Structure 1
Amino acid sequence: MSLLTRRRLLRRAALSATAAGAARTGLAGAAAAGTVASAAAVAGCDGTPDPHDDADPDGALRFPSDFGWGAATSAYQIEGAAKEDGRGESVWDTFSHTPGRTRNGDTGDVAADHYHRYAQDLDLMRDLGLRSYRFSISWPRVQADGSGGPNQRGLDFYRRLVDGLHERGIAPMATLFHWDLPQALQDAGGWENRDTAERFAEYADAVFRALGDRVPVWLTVNEPKTVVQNGYLWGHHAPGRQDPAAAYLVAHHLQLAHGLAVRALRAAGVGGRIGPALNLHPCYPADDTAEAATATRLYDGYENRLYLDSIFKGAYPEDVLADLGADSRMVRGVRDGDLKIISSPVDLLAVQYYTPIYVTGQGDTVRRWPTSEAEWQQIYPEGMYDILTRVTRDYGRVPITITENGLPCPDTLAADGTVDDSARIDFLRDHFAAAHRAIRDGVPLESYHVWSLLDNFEWAEGYEQRWGLVYVDYPTQRRVLKRSAHWYRDVIRRNGL
């Protein structure tokens, strides 16, 4: 990697970190609308359709009859029981226990105590009418040190969880890796070490053979881009590094791990479908200049095509490789046959959408829309439509599931025991409508999982932000359905808006 590219990546990380810390801001709709049209030429986005054009004659938006309405969680964020039943230490245990790494020094030691309260949480899912539940399996709970024989007590917990879902008529969707790498593997080099991808395949095989006949959908690696950017460029997430040279070697090994897990499922012969879980950000030029278009194309390469092209086209994007440089650790780390493994055929793509990105001719990012409490998140429902239609147009009609979409709200428990999160309802309604338009326009969208089922440990933000449909009173672990949960239950019952 050249010094210039290294500086560019660090500058991009610094710009993103600055944007995340900025105050809430928004521009007038007319000013923002001018950027969306120019974005279509670069990001492959269609023009924005009239949001009222897709209404049924009765004014309702009906989804396909078999649409999978669901909610999502991840192991470290809700399970707790960090030292119980043979669970090993993860990089997030280490990171959250390091002073200054998380807000208020919060950790996932207890979180939402889902490990002990899973039956109660399953009943909540049933009462909401969920048709699908997307969760993750904790690697260190299954293999304390990331290798060797599986921990039966850990597998038994997930077997009870999966059985409980089936008993309540809810389809399990299991993610194999949601960032909680066993600390022992990190000590041996973590995702910089190619061997970690091999260990992941062995772990995946053990889980497939234990649970495969009961799990219809598997997701391999959750948001590899976030591990790369937050964990190795910005240092805001575990393992807390700021090393651009390592970051994109990590990206390659995460993609390799994905491909090896796909092959492990096929070899295990247990059935079920499998695919990656990618957080995709539609990238738009901030103005109509040629410079902004060029910069946006490269930005999109790092945000989206680096992961999509390797999985669906069997090649990394040439502009990104050229920008990294022939001497980069990533380029030098790709071996013959790696891209064939990474592009092993998948059955579906999990898309996670939170925010658009607007790029200037200098490669900076700017705001165009109001933000949520998570100030990196611009609220722009049309981005959902744009990214779904773009994926289908560029990569074919692979079935798509939305596995994360939501926002944090300043939720408080009122004296009457209710939680009024009307902003979340507005957010979800607009994004559901955007997804409905995408289906109408040919996107093979199968299901939609709101992030998140429960308030939880929000990584570096600790317990400061509440993303759940269900309020968790952490001192008592009491669960309270928020107004949005009641609303979502009605959406599921009606199968639409």
Structure 2
Amino acid sequence: MKKFYNFPEGFFWGSASSAEQSEGKGNTGKGKTIWDHWFEIEKNRFFDEVGPDVTSDFFNRYDDDIKLMKELGHNSFRMSLSWARLFPNGDGEVNEKAVEFYNKVIDTFIANEVTPFVNLYHFDMPMAMQEKGGWESKKVVKAYANYTDKCFELFGDRIERWFTFNEPLGPVLGGYMQDFHYPNVIDFKRATQVAFNTILANAKAIRKFKKHNLKSKIGIVLNLSPTYPRSSNKYDLEAAEYCDLFYNRSFLDPCVKGEFPKKLVDTLKKYDQMPEYTKEDLKIIKENTAQILGINYYEPRRAKARDNAVNTKSPFMPEWLFDTYVLPGRKFNQYRGWEIYEKGILDLCNNVKDNYGNIEAFISENGMGVADEARFIENGQINDDYRIEFIKGHLKYIHKAIEEGCNINGYHLWTFIDCWSWMNAYKNRYGLVSLDLKTQKRTVKKSGEFYKLLGKNNGFED
């Protein structure tokens, strides 16, 4: 028997993208980012050698794209501002051409009754700031705080929800642990400094925000994964606890509670991996926490006790304390290698409810990237039933989370139009709308039609 999953009145339906992945360079005199630089020096590491110069050309096509969002059931959209566009050198005087561009974009969203959620940083460090040390540098933290202060001044009268960072764990992992972001360093102690300074930057931005006395709210978007032990064996349980500490609680606790988990701090001290900080830094973090939380969920983490002894001549990594565990018989996205576990989103929401004050939250990213989607064209349209089933599967558990009292007020899919995805470029497609790279033509996929009804009906039948 079919059931209709109805969501609360005022629920936010939409999608998300970022400046670097959608805008293209434009003609405002945008400064170079670390992605522009890395693409220049190592083009071979980007799929099909496609860089960030054009992407989906939102810079020139935002008016039509926003109208299409509205048509496809969106009442909201999470965008990001480009620090390098507004401040080509990272600091100094704001670029008035960039201000004009973002004013037009924000006003167009509002005119189309699509509420813009604005994120201030999405992996796109201005190269001028990276040359000063990136997130390892307190000078860059200060410049970022000044950049956010200017954004609140310029756009704060029209924005209801602000976010300081998207997935701050990403640049830590990619840039300083796993070699998939610039500056391609393998050094965990430097990684902890980057993480700490990013958390401090988040707090300083929130402190700036408070001074403006805006009616809006500010928070952070974190990529969270429920962490499951292989078994109830005490060693597996301990392994999962360490995994959770490093990859979830390292950001979640200080950004929402204002303090770091004691066991994480003790572990960093034990292995001589502590960042440099001051008591004043800790005070700022304690006093300036998120008012709202964006939850990006793609896959769970599974951990087990290590099978082998650690090679102490290798660089320290959290995986010294656990092994990742692949669940036999798991459902997974073969194109991305990620496990698909819909119930994980319920477990995440309940964790936030039970352990983080049931902070106001929304699902800020969830999506499915698939390669070679042209295989699925029928009558000129991509028939992506797999994406529709993926969305429905997660929404059922979000609906259950809300029924159980979780303070979840929206769902944003990644993403609206197939976007440029860092090193993967356009290898995997995530959009409700397909993009022809040669012509920039947009074509609504079957999932886009489903999403239109989802927004219109404030729910779905299954």
Q: State the distance in 2 between where 1:98 and 1:143 align.
A: 23
Tell me, yes or no, if the aligned pair for 2:254 and 2:289 is still in contact at 8 Å: no
Q: Helix, strand or coil: the match of 1:119?
A: helix
Partner of 1:333: 276
TM-score normalised by the chain length of structure 2: 0.92
Offset, 1:460: 1.1
Counterpart AA for 2:177 = L
Tell me, yes or no, if the aligned pair for 2:297 and 2:365 is still in contact at 8 Å: yes
Q: Deviations over 1:176-234 (max 9, x none)?
A: 00010000110111111122111111000111111000111000011111111112100
Tell me, yes or no, if the aligned pair for 2:86 and 2:95 is still in contact at 8 Å: yes
- Structure with bigger strand share is 2
Tell me, yes or no, if the aligned pair for 1:400 and 1:444 is still in contact at 8 Å: yes
Q: Deviations over 1:88-130 (max 9, x none)?
A: 0001111222323322222111100110011110111111121
Tell me, yes or no, if the aligned pair for 1:402 and 1:447 is still in contact at 8 Å: yes
Aligned residues: 439
Match of 1:247 among 177, 191, 202: 191
1:85-104 paired onto structure 2 within 5 Å: 85-99=28-42, 100-104=44-48
Match of 2:215 among 268, 271, 290: 271
Offset, 1:240: 2.1
Tell me, yes or no, if the aligned pair for 2:58 and 2:65 is still in contact at 8 Å: yes
Offset, 1:237: 1.5
Match of 1:114 among 44, 49, 58: 58
Deviates more, 1:263-272 or 1:466-475: 263-272
Counterpart AA for 2:285 = I
Partner of 2:430: 467
Partner of 2:316: none
Offset, 1:328: 4.1
Q: State the distance in 2 between where 1:419 and 1:59 align.
A: 27
Partner of 1:44: none
Q: State the distance in 2 between where 1:103 and 1:226 align.
A: 19
Q: State the distance in 2 between where 1:345 and 1:321 align.
A: 19
Tell me, yes or no, if the aligned pair for 2:333 and 2:339 is still in contact at 8 Å: yes
Partner of 1:137: 81
Q: State the distance in 2 between where 1:313 and 1:173 align.
A: 23
Partner of 2:443: 480
Q: State the distance in 2 between where 1:407 and 1:420 align.
A: 14
Tell me, yes or no, if the aligned pair for 2:297 and 2:366 is still in contact at 8 Å: yes
Deviates more, 1:408-417 or 1:309-318: 408-417
Match of 2:407 among 444, 448, 452: 444
Offset, 1:158: 1.1
Q: State the distance in 1 between where 2:117 and 2:180 align.
A: 28
Partner of 1:31: none
Counterpart AA for 2:90 = G
Q: Is 2:220 the partner of 1:259?
A: no
Q: Deviations over 1:372-412 (max 9, x none)?
A: 14434210000000001111100112100111000112321
Identity of aligned residues (%): 33
Q: 1:326 to 1:334 in 2, by over 3 A?
A: farther
TM-score normalised by the chain length of structure 1: 0.86
Match of 1:420 among 363, 379, 383: 383
Q: Deviations over 1:441-476 (max 9, x none)?
A: 010111110000110111111111101111000100
Cα RMSD (Å) = 1.5
Partner of 2:351: 390
Q: Helix, strand or coil: the match of 2:390?
A: helix
Counterpart AA for 2:50 = D
Tell me, yes or no, if the aligned pair for 2:190 and 2:275 is still in contact at 8 Å: no
Q: 1:172 to 1:460 in 2, by over 3 A?
A: same
Match of 1:342 among 281, 285, 293: 285
Match of 2:172 among 225, 228, 244: 228
Q: Helix, strand or coil: the match of 1:463?
A: coil
Partner of 2:311: none
Q: Is 2:311 the partner of 1:367?
A: no
Offset, 1:334: 2.1
Q: Is 2:347 the partner of 1:403?
A: no
Tell me, yes or no, if the aligned pair for 2:89 and 2:126 is still in contact at 8 Å: yes
Tell me, yes or no, if the aligned pair for 1:194 and 1:253 is still in contact at 8 Å: yes
Counterpart AA for 1:456 = C
Tell me, yes or no, if the aligned pair for 1:453 and 1:468 is still in contact at 8 Å: yes
Q: Is 2:338 the partner of 1:377?
A: yes
Q: 1:332 to 1:486 in 2, by over 3 A?
A: closer
Match of 1:77 among 21, 29, 33: 21
Q: State the distance in 2 between where 1:288 and 1:281 align.
A: 19
Offset, 1:295: 0.7
Offset, 1:327: 7.3
Tell me, yes or no, if the aligned pair for 1:95 and 1:240 is still in contact at 8 Å: no
Q: State the distance in 2 between where 1:240 and 1:117 align.
A: 33
Tell me, yes or no, if the aligned pair for 2:257 and 2:289 is still in contact at 8 Å: no
Tell me, yes or no, if the aligned pair for 1:155 and 1:207 is still in contact at 8 Å: no
Deviates more, 1:408-417 or 1:103-112: 408-417
Q: What runs of 5+ residues in structure 2 fail to find an aligned partner? A: 307-321
